[in-house]
Each structure stands twice: as structure tokens, then as C-alpha cells.
Structure 1
Amino acid sequence: MTKPVQADILLDMMADARARTFELVEGLEGPQLTEPMLATINPLLWEIGHVAWFHEYWILRHLDGREPMIPNADALYDSSAIPHDDRWQLSLPALEDTIAYMTQVHNALGARLESLGSDAAPVADSYFYQLTTYHEDMHDEAFTYTRQTLGQPRPDFADTGGGLDPDDEPRVGDLPGDVAVPGGVFWLGAFEGEPFVFDNEKWAHRVELRPFRIARAPVTNAEFAEFVADGGYREPRWWSEAGWQWLQTQGRERPVYWADDGGGDWLIKDFDGWRPLPPNAPVSHVSAHEAEAYCSWAGRRLPTEAEWEAAAAGEPDGAGSALAERKRRFPWGEGRPTMDRANVDGRYLGPLDVADCPGGDSAFGCRQMIGNLWEWTASPFEPYPGFVPDPYKDYSQPWFGDNRVIRGGAWATRGRMLRNTWRNFFTPGRCDVLAGFRTCPREA
């Protein structure tokens, strides 16, 4: 069971998410709201309406039994019923009408919560307000990297001072080397008692892990550039069969947002502009196929998700020879993410150097396992033993098998969502998402 959250906290979370959504729409108009049609994005005008519909559907309609606020809401915004390509063919309301609908839903949800005062919300209310807020948070992260995909201007986040440039922070360098994680019994997944968990995290179950080593930090741009310079994108021997087939469809020999500056150095696309590639920031916007090819070239491998979670959440037993029974909620312990622990919430609008955020180290010395960039694992996205879908059945169940697990969160992820057990997932060919990777040595 999860524990209910106070109504005033839920109200603040919901308002904060909606403010971020409006910031991500600000300044966009016309074709920027509906074009182009790509497999990895939705039309933004549709997507913001869908966010409001999701709130209305699960709370005002599912919990309260109210009628839809607009008569054709399901035909417009139900992502489970409307195929992806059909979303460009819909007769969507204009932007001002969509925002009016979003505001109407938001105000109704707020009124429900305000009637509860500061008391803990009923369990169902607490669950569905968190579900819908986190759903909006996830869409907001997608809106952020979609602006990068489409070459749109940087968003302007008021609560982070307009978004700090990571290059304004002192560059602190790389963090080479591996750490040792002892083997033993590890409890993979979430325990009961969290304020909220997704269905694919349920529940913690025993897995046996062999001792392993894992990198202290993710692979940097400088390290990945060595693979590129060595012809890694031209050598099929480094790629899996599926990865090489994928690469042929891409027609490139470098990460998707890299470009040669003409003088032997690399540039990286930054929303609607270009800047010098920061050598000690983690390589970003790489697919699982690219990560695996680098590992093959470097004589290393991706961690499994159980290894990743053990390195993030585990602690050594008293003798240091095995994993302890207890787990940490975050790599550093129980306290929420802070600036010295994790780069989250769009604070810097980009990744920091891999040696930054030293306060976020795990018990074993791994840094940035929360925030900065998501990290690909070697594990397919599959259900845990005894999986039962939550009320929103399409969150996890349809995606088992074809997706790859990524862990940890990125600089655009909202810190309130994150914990060591949270499992995200994408198809292994996705390189638009805010993902990098860390590696493990191959076993002898």
C-alpha cells in the first residue's frame, strides 16, 4: 500500500506542473504547434489538450462520475484509442480554446483539493492526483526534448531563474574509474509505503547478484569522441545485428546532434543553436544501440537494471563482503534531490560535467545516478513477478518486451518523481530522449 499525501502538497504539485506546461508552450504558434509529423513526437497542440483530458478523465470523471467538459473530449484526446498518426488529422480546438479547457479542468481539480484543507487526501484522491501530475511532468520532459528535436528556442523556466546555462557553472571535469559492488541477495523494486509508485515497480523481490564493478560516472563526450574518431560508426564488428540495421537507417557517423566545426573540434546542437561540445559532460542523445557499440569497442558492457539499482540503492553489509538487506530511496540516502546532489527540474537546461554533484554519490561511490541524464541498461522492459496493472492499464502493460529499461532521470526530469526504483523505458533506437549510459567491465 502507498501512503496518502496532504491535499495542499498535491495542489502545489499540480499547479507547478501546469505552470511548467504553459512555459513550454510560451512563444510557439502556428506550425510549431502541429508540425512536423514524426514517429517520436505528438502534435504539441494535441498533447497539451491530452494532458488536461487525462486529469479530467481520471479524477473528475473516474472518481466523481461527472460528464465530460467538452462533448468530444474522448474522440480528441484519448491516447489509448487514437493511433499516433491519426493525431495530425484531428480537428483540434485552437490554442486559446485548448488553454481555456486546460484552465477549466485545472480549476475544478483545485477546488476539489481545497475543500479537503491541509488534511491528507483520501487514498484514491492522493493516488490519482499524483498519477495525473506525474503524467504531466513526463509530457513536460517530452516537450523539452521535442523543442531540441525541432530546433526550437530554449524554454524559459521562471522558477529556475530562466534556466541556467551549464557552461556558466565551473567545469569540474571527469570522474574516471570503477567501483566494486559486492554480490548477494538484492531486493529489486519498490517496497510498500512510498507515497506513489508505478505499477511496473511493484514489488520488491529477491534477485541474486554476483559481485561486479561499475563506472563511477557515465561515459563522457570526450570518451565517446574517441570511438567516433576510431571509425566506430563504420565498423559493423562493434554493433549488434539489430544495431547495425538501425544505423543504416540513420545515415550518420556520429551522435545525432554532433557536427564538425571545420577545425577538428566538435559542436553540439543546443535547441536552436550550436555550441562547443563540453568534453566532460556525459554523452547524450545516444540510442541503446550506440551505447552497446561503444561498449563493444571499449571492451565493456551495459549494466543490467538490477546491477544499476544495486549500485544506486544498495549498501554493503557490516563486513563489506555482501549487499545489506536495506536499500536507499536515493543514492545519497533519504533526503530529496538538492543542487549539490542532482541536476534535475530543468535547472541548467543541459547536462553538467560528470564529476559535478558530489553530494549525490551512492554508498559505493557512483555519481549522478539520479539526474543529469537517463542511463540505458542491458535489460528489456519486462514485468516483475506477480505484476498486476494499475487502473491506467496502458502505462506499462502494452510496452513490455519491445522496450529497454532506462534508469535515473535527466536534467529535465522533475525531482519529485524520482527515486532509485523508478523504471523508465524506450525502444532501443530512440536517440531524441535525454539518455546516456555508464558501463561495467566485462567479466574475465
Structure 2
Amino acid sequence: MLRASRLLRVELRLGAARRRLSLAYSPPLTGADYLHTPKFWTGLEPQNTPGFDAERNCLASLKAPDLRERGPKLRDTLEDYFENGWALTEVLFSSLRGPEAYYRPPAHGLRHPLVFYYGHPAALAVNKLRVAGALTKGLCDDFDVLFETGVDEMSWDDLDTPSTRWPELQEVREYRSKARDLVLDVIRNHPALDEPISSKEATDSKFVVWSLGMICEHERIHLETSTTLMRELPIDDVSRPSYWPPDHPSVTAETSVAPVELVSVNGGSIELGKPRTHSTYSWDNEYGSRVIEARPFKASRTQVTNGQYLDFVKAGGYASPEHWSEDGWAWRSFRNTKWPHFWERTGPQGVHEYALRLPFDEVPLPLDLPAEVNKHEAHAYAKWLSSEKGQSLRLPTECEYHLMLEANNGCTLAKARENEAVDDVATMGAKELAPTPLNANLAWGSPSSVYDGQAPFGGLRGNSWEYCEDWFAALPGYETHPLYEDFSTPCFDGQHALILGGSFASTGNEASVFSRFHFRPHFHNLLSFRVVSGEEHPELTSHDAAKPWAAGWVPPTYKKQSEEGSHKYESAAQLAAYLDLHYGGRGALDGPASSLHSLSLEDALDFPQRCAAKLGSGRRALDVGCAVGGSCKALASSFDEVVGIDYAQGFVDAANALKTNDLNYARSGEASLPGAQCLAHAFTPAEAAKLTFLKGDACALPASLGTFDAVLAANLLCRLQEPLAFIDRLPSLVNAGGRVFFASPFSWMSEYTPPDKWLSPQQLEERMRENGFVLEAAAPEAVVIRDHARKFQFVVSHGMLFRKS
């Protein structure tokens, strides 16, 4: 550990710096004549800073350093990286026209003025070097505290009170300058940077090195967020700074609006988490490991564009509460928001002419740039588009996002986990990235068109962050880092939305494929979204999340949904309907409308038992989609062993309960009132001994089931996500000479099955024939399901009996 006297004389004689809070305060606006002179820079001038791109006349972000190195190589790369980030911040702040811009509170009242973000990275650097043991004292007690903590508002109306007595700008500049000197002295002189990682003092050594990585990456986080804060200033407060990367050419290119196009993605599993052996810095939430799954889904080829979002605005989306969540509508009403945050209305009310505010300019609204909105707005658009398209749409999950990356066959978690060099944005500087389609690491100074040429999905990395359905949560194996205990842990509260992918201004760690960041759903930043059609209630990383949990949050438990939609079928009313179907007999037609039923309705009774009778007899039978077990009970009279499988746990539980007990249920009456009390009788001991009920997936039946003489699939096929996965499993599931009976109305719906996977009866027969089955019989099979006393679902399924040749 170095003594502070060896590092620097850290006494700052800033008499005016001894400030506290005051309710009546006018910011200091004098003594800032140096702002647009060479005296503004507290470190190297941009053209002399590592990473300067003379060809483009801008300062380019460098790649992240290897923190496993030691000695001169580590010192050199860390110093270059630190100086590069420090200077990028000052290039950005040089855009402010005068001191007023530093002290002007943001209009939304949710953040400090920019003077805080000018001093904040310096304060964190000093404080974290003290925590790591590299310093024994701070730089300036008041400033070390004043600039330490930002604002994390709890709600959209939790406004920051602008009462802080902010120091003179020149004093903050001096503080930054001294803090930079401290950091550079540690990089150049601290012995920890020479100690082998395997040495006895490895822990202390790593803390010092890790604190330097943290200081660099923290600076870059606020480089990005300050870019957003400058977009929120009056346009007269900013000007385009020298040495900032140019805007992407697509900002001013001629654009048009394309419809939202959905692309199919195979389901699969993803392992989340960054190996601790990797060389670059990461925040604590990126470590740990979790394998998570997603079913096949469809996702929009690109992020939703300004042009596509404009349709929602024109359709009155901001005036229609039915599209919004309760909290989202409350936020919209509180803010009286009528269009996205960074749009500026340029025409008369109702004409819908807008400009887009960029960090330093306003341009006519580019229709093919990503629509930068908050999560409330993203959800509202997805719900509106669902009604327009007639299919259920939502945001992607963290797993689905990474499955899209795999579909692009570029940088993925799996590849980067095995080989760090694959994580190109973290291992390539902006100069190398500028010629590529990837708009990240400040290769460009603005967002760009979503049509970047990457296939099948554009804009997954860089350009604009993407919201997920998931809430920010720890991965199993997470450990709060002692150098920054409140970076992630307080935000594991079920109120911070997970964001992925980075933006054009994301540099270093933020641009890594392992990066996982978070914002509250009402917050605006460089944030966009895309839409997904898939499982209605998918698995999220916030389901069953590992501890710690904050603010009283308890993560929800994931309940895997069936293709039939078990969230619907497991309700009390639906469970009663299916118990009636399987065990109610003529009583299922009871009620004031019974005299109106014709013989065809009578013929629709006892559907489960009629289906079972088609399969004859044998040793083992399998009922896939068995619901509450009526078909299995019937099969038990002619088979030695019957296995029933259903995805809905409630159905499986009810069927297992019937092995030993009667089940009472209330038949639905009129006007949603309870009807007659009914009884589903328990199976006989002989029947129960033959029956096994399991929860399972028809599209992924395990080999451990063995083989069967008969398989029943009654009203199952058109509710499967992957019907061919089930059909193609049958050859290995059915014994020679065995039978398969399908009963299906072929009423396909895109919310369950992608349209390109829909089958006709003829296509089913052809596929079964290819799989070695012969069609023995085909006939209509009627089924009636009671909704209530005056409403019945009457369905005529197409029955098809196959025999394995």
C-alpha cells in the first residue's frame, strides 16, 4: 500500500468547496472563461490522447485492457485506456456552450444537473482507490461525498429537489485534475501491478488492479448516460464538439417505413454468465452461471423503427389506456406524454411531423432509426401491434435475445466464453469497428439505421440498448463485489428492467456480449426494443432468481406453460369444464337450454371414452394431452398399463388425486354463477393400479417412457408449438402393429403454433405414411365442452386412426 504522501500532496485548498445543502440557491455562473480554451482539458488534449484517429479527426475509444497482465505492459495499457476514457468525457463536456448548461436541472427532475456528472467519475475514482487500499486518505472530503452518489429515483414522480449548493465550475475542474493525477500515480507506481496473480498477496493485488478497471469502466458508463442528458438540454445549450465521432451517415439518408417482419428462431437453451477467468473487467452481475430455455419463437428482424412507432402515435396510442399497463398509463398521464421523449414536434398538432433530437443536433425524424422509448412505451406498442396483427406480441426474454445472436452466427455467449477474442466489441477499438456494420464503441457519434446488413437479425449489438421482459436479477453464483457493494445488489428489486446489447455510445465493458445492465421502466436513455411472438408466459432470469434480493422483492416462481395454454386450462372454471367433459356424462348438458339440444349434441358426449375405444386392446397405452384422465380410465379397461402425459400441472394433479379420492366441482351456471355441485368418482383400485400420470412436453417425450401398443392424441395436435416433433417421435414410440389415434379440429392459431408449421389432415396422413404408418380409418368426432349453462363449445374434430406397419 502506498502512503498518500508518496502518491501526491492531496490537500486541496478550496475554501469555497466547503458546501452543504441550501433550499435557496443560484448556481455559480462566473469564472468559466477557460471553458473553450486549451485550459479546459484536465489531462491530455484529445489530439494527443491514445486512440486519436487522425484520419477521421476524432478521438476513438480503445479496446478494454487485459487485467491478467502484470508489469510494464499492464501499466501501459491501463494508462492508455484510462486517459482515453477520461478525455472522451471531456470531449463530450466541451459541447456545453457555457456554465449555465452545467447547472441546469433536467426538465424531468429525475437526475442531477450535468455538473454532478462532470465531477462524479473523479469522486468514485478517489473513493474506490481508498476502498482498495491504494490510498490512505481522500482528496477533498466535501467533494468526495458531494459527487459520490447519483439519483436512482424510485418512481416516475420521485423527483430530485434541486437544492444542492454546487461548487464553482473551476473548483470541480481542479478536483478532476487532481483525481486524474492520483489515478495515474497508482497506475505508474503501485507495486500491485507488478505482483503475479498467484503470489501470496494476490487478493490485495487484484483489488488494486480491479479498482483501476472499475474506475475506467465507471467513467465509460457515465460517458454514455451524459450523452443522453445532453440530448435533454435545450438545443442552444450545446454545440457539436471537436474530436467527437461523426454522426452515422444513415441519420440524414432518405428513409422509408417497412412493416414489422417476424423471423422464426429455433428454441433452445442458453448458458448465461461470464467466466471469472476472463481477462477484461466486468461488473459483478455478469458473473455466475445459469442455463435457461426458450421454446421456438418469432422475433422482429430489427428493432422497432421510428417509422413503425409513428404508426402507433398516429393511431392514438398515447390516448388509449387499453394498450398500457396500470403503472405505464399512470406515468404517461403524469407526464402528459404524446410521443417519444427524443422527438420534437415540428408541425401543427395532429399533423404528426417530428424531428429527432440527437446529442448536439435536431434532424428530420429518420424513419429507420430505432425508436428510443422507455419500457412502458415499448409494452404499449407491443400490445397495440398485437391487436393490429391479431397475434400476441411481447418483448424478448434474455434467453431469446441470445438465441437470436446464435441465429446470426456471429459473436455469442458460448463462443465468447470459449474464446475471449470472439467478443469483438470488447476486444476491438472504435477505429477497427467503424468500417463494420456494428455501431458500437463510439465508432460513430449517433444511432444509425436498423437495417445494418446483419442477418437474420439487425441491431442486436450496438446502436441502441434493447429492453427484455426480464427484471434485473442475479445469476446463481453471484457475489457482491466488496469494492462496489451497491452497484447491482440494490437493483435486484423487481423494479429495474434488464437491458442488453449496448448502444452506439457503449464502450469497453458495456459493449461486451456478457454485459447486463438495468434501468427503471420509466427511464429514457439510448434504449429501444423489438417484439416477439412466442410462449405467452416464458421463463425469465427473474424467475426463481438467486439471492440477494432487495427492497422486499421475492422473485416469482416459473410455472412452465403448456402448448394448450395451461394458464387458461388450470383455472377453476376450466378445470371444472374438463372434469365435466370426462366424467359428467349426460349431466354436462344440464340446464335451461337442454331441451334445445339435438341428437348431434348427444353424440358429442363422452368424447374421451369414445377416443379410447378406437385403440382396441394391448399391453401398454399412452395418452398424450391426457388432461384430467378420462381417456386413461377408459384405456385401463383394455390395456395392462396406461401412461397419461399433460403439460398442465393442475390437470396432472387432478388425475393423480382421482386415484384415491372423489373430486367435487361446481358445474358452471348462468351469468357466471355456480351451478350444480358435481362429483368425479375416484378410479377403482384396479384402474388406479394401471394408471400413471406425468407432467411432460408432447414435443420432447423422453426415451425413458419406453414403447407402447397404442398412442392417443385427442385435440392436441393444433396446440403444439412443434407438431412435427411429436409426429416424428411416434416411430420410436409405437410398437410394430401398434395404433395411433388423432382427433383434431385442425384449428391452428399463431399464438400456439407458427403458421409455417400448420398441417392439414392430408399433410398429417402423408407424414405418418413417411414414418411407417398406414391410415386405417377416418371419421368426424364431435366433442362438446360446457362454458356455462347457456354456452357450449361444440367442436367436430377429424378422427384419424393409424397402424404401424
Alignment TM-score > 0.5, same fold: yes
Task: Pick closer, same or farther for the CA change 1:75–1:420 going to 2, 3 Å.
Answer: closer
Superposition deviation, residue 66 in structure 1: 2.2
Identical counterparts, % of pairs: 25
Matched, 1:428 2:497: no
Structure 2: unaligned runs, 5 residues or longer? 1-65, 197-204, 387-392, 535-750, 753-805
For the 8 Å contact 1:261–1:267, the answer to whether it is kept is no
Partner amino acid, structure 2, of 1:266: Y
Distance 1:87 1:111 in 2: 37
Counting strand residues as a fraction of each chain, which structure ranks higher?
2
1:15 is aligned to 83
2:692 is aligned to none
1:277 is aligned to 365
Distance 1:224 1:89 in 2: 38
2:405 equivalent among 296, 299, 312? 312
Matches within 5 A, 1:9-408: 9-26=77-94, 27-36=96-105, 38-60=108-130, 62-79=132-149, 88-115=162-189, 122-151=205-234, 152-156=237-241, 158=243, 160=245, 166-167=250-251, 177-194=261-278, 195-258=280-343, 259-262=345-348, 265-271=353-359, 273-284=361-372, 286-299=373-386, 300-312=393-405, 326-328=414-416, 333-336=422-425, 338-339=433-434, 340-356=436-452, 358=453, 361=454, 365-391=456-482, 392-400=484-492, 401-408=494-501
Distance 1:197 1:82 in 2: 21
Distance 1:249 1:393 in 2: 34
Structure 1: unaligned runs, 5 residues or longer? 317-323
Task: Pick closer, same or farther for the CA change 1:91–1:255 going to 2, 3 Å.
Answer: closer
For the 8 Å contact 2:115–2:169, the answer to whether it is kept is yes
| Cα deviation 1:4-53 (Å, max 9, x = unaligned) | 25222211111011111212222443332122265332222222222111
Superposition deviation, residue 148 in structure 1: 0.7
Between 366-375 and 273-282, report the one with greater CA deviation.
273-282
Q: TM-score, normalised by structure 1?
A: 0.85
Per the alignment, in what secondary structure is the counterpart of residue 252 of structure 1? coil
Distance 1:268 1:325 in 2: 34
Distance 2:365 2:167 in 1: 41
| Cα deviation 1:385-434 (Å, max 9, x = unaligned) | 24321120111111122111111111122255322221111111113x11
Partner amino acid, structure 1, of 2:506: T
Per the alignment, in what secondary structure is the counterpart of residue 326 of structure 1? helix
1:319 is aligned to none
For the 8 Å contact 1:166–1:348, the answer to whether it is kept is no
Relative CO higher for 1 or 2, CA cutoff 8 Å, sep ≥ 6?
Answer: 1
Per the alignment, in what secondary structure is the counterpart of residue 424 of structure 2? coil
Superposition deviation, residue 355 in structure 1: 0.9
Superposition deviation, residue 272 in structure 1: 6.0
Q: How many residues align?
A: 428
Superposition deviation, residue 97 in structure 1: 1.9
Superposition deviation, residue 291 in structure 1: 0.5
For the 8 Å contact 1:313–1:331, the answer to whether it is kept is no
For the 8 Å contact 1:186–1:208, the answer to whether it is kept is yes
Distance 1:169 1:82 in 2: 37
Task: Pick closer, same or farther for the CA change 1:81–1:231 going to 2, 3 Å.
Answer: closer
Partner amino acid, structure 2, of 1:261: G
Partner amino acid, structure 2, of 1:365: P
For the 8 Å contact 2:227–2:359, the answer to whether it is kept is no
Per the alignment, in what secondary structure is the counterpart of residue 366 of structure 2? coil
Task: Pick closer, same or farther for the CA change 1:233–1:80 going to 2, 3 Å.
Answer: closer
For the 8 Å contact 2:402–2:413, the answer to whether it is kept is no
Superposition deviation, residue 332 in structure 1: 11
Distance 2:422 2:301 in 1: 17
Q: CA RMSD in A?
A: 3.3
Per the alignment, in what secondary structure is the counterpart of residue 521 of structure 2? coil
Partner amino acid, structure 2, of 1:98: V
Superposition deviation, residue 208 in structure 1: 2.3
For the 8 Å contact 1:370–1:409, the answer to whether it is kept is yes
Distance 1:295 1:86 in 2: 31
Between 331-340 and 222-231, report the one with greater CA deviation.
331-340
Distance 1:248 1:175 in 2: 29
Task: Pick closer, same or farther for the CA change 1:173–1:398 going to 2, 3 Å.
Answer: same
1:438 equivalent among 530, 540, 545? 530
Distance 2:420 2:400 in 1: 13
Q: Highest CA radius of gyration, 1 or 2? A: 2
Task: Pick closer, same or farther for the CA change 1:146–1:136 going to 2, 3 Å.
Answer: same
Between 116-125 and 421-430, report the one with greater CA deviation.
116-125
Between 297-306 and 147-156, report the one with greater CA deviation.
147-156
Superposition deviation, residue 438 in structure 1: 1.0
Partner amino acid, structure 2, of 1:63: G
Superposition deviation, residue 157 in structure 1: 5.3
Partner amino acid, structure 2, of 1:405: L
Between 415-424 and 14-23, report the one with greater CA deviation.
415-424
Task: Pick closer, same or farther for the CA change 1:373–1:82 going to 2, 3 Å.
Answer: closer
Distance 2:342 2:274 in 1: 35
1:320 is aligned to none
Per the alignment, in what secondary structure is the counterpart of residue 411 of structure 1? coil
Task: Pick closer, same or farther for the CA change 1:334–1:41 going to 2, 3 Å.
Answer: same
| Cα deviation 1:311-349 (Å, max 9, x = unaligned) | 225788xxxxxxx99344699944335121421244433
Per the alignment, in what secondary structure is the counterpart of residue 428 of structure 1? coil
Task: Pick closer, same or farther for the CA change 1:335–1:174 going to 2, 3 Å.
Answer: farther
For the 8 Å contact 1:311–1:366, the answer to whether it is kept is yes
Partner amino acid, structure 1, of 2:84: D
Task: Pick closer, same or farther for the CA change 1:189–1:180 going to 2, 3 Å.
Answer: farther
Superposition deviation, residue 82 in structure 1: 11
Distance 2:190 2:137 in 1: 22
Q: TM-score, normalised by structure 2?
A: 0.49
| Cα deviation 1:164-188 (Å, max 9, x = unaligned) | 5643568698696333332233202
For the 8 Å contact 1:163–1:347, the answer to whether it is kept is no
For the 8 Å contact 1:312–1:420, the answer to whether it is kept is no
Distance 2:518 2:486 in 1: 13
For the 8 Å contact 1:181–1:211, the answer to whether it is kept is yes
Superposition deviation, residue 238 in structure 1: 1.4
Distance 2:460 2:357 in 1: 24
Partner amino acid, structure 2, of 1:43: P
